[in-house]
């Protein structure tokens, strides 16, 4: 990967997350890039890949729980974790592990 610039790395991470992770609503898949959530997720999980320890699934889940998604025109907010299928959580952890290895 060899991206030394933090901004470039964050943008690349956000793009990969946006293309591979989606929220599932009534069996409709809305990718995080389309939902404009990919950058927010990347910013929240970026510290996990720069840490000196391996990415832990529990920390990723905590980051996803902290991201609130407005639904119904803002009448309610749900944690992002509640909208992601389990496979997308696994995909996100895999992406983060790959980025951490390649840094």
Regarding predicted confidence, which is higher, 20 or 4? 20
**pLDDT value, residue 2:** 46
pLDDT at 5: 85
pLDDT tens figures, 10-19: 999 999 999 9
Say what the pLDDT of residue 1 is: 45
pLDDT given for residue 4 in this prediction: 58
Give Cβ neighbours of residue 60 (< 8 Å, ≥ 6 apart).
Answer: 45, 48, 89, 92, 93, 96
In whole angstroms, give the CA distance from residue 88 to residue 51: 22
Cα 94 to Cα 64, 68, 86: the distances in Å are 15, 22, 12
pLDDT of residue 78: 97
pLDDT one-digit tens code per residue, 85-94: 999 999 999 9
- The neighbouring-strand residues paired with 68 are 79
**Domains in the chain: boundaries:** 6-102
pLDDT at 74: 93
pLDDT band at residue 103 using 50, 70 and 90 as cut-offs: confident
């Amino acid at each position: 990967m060899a991206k030394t610039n933090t901004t470039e790395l964050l943008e690349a991470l956000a793009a990969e997350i946006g293309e591979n992770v989606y929220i599932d609503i009534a069996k409709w898949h809305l990718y995080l890039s389309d939902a404009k959530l990919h950058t927010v997720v990347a910013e929240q999980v970026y510290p996990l890949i720069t840490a000196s320890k391996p990415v832990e699934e529990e920390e990723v889940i905590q980051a996803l729980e902290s991201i609130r998604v407005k639904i119904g025109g803002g009448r309610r907010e749900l944690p992002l974790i509640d909208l992601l299928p389990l496979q997308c959580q696994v995909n996100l952890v895999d992406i983060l592990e790959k980025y951490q290895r390649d840094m």
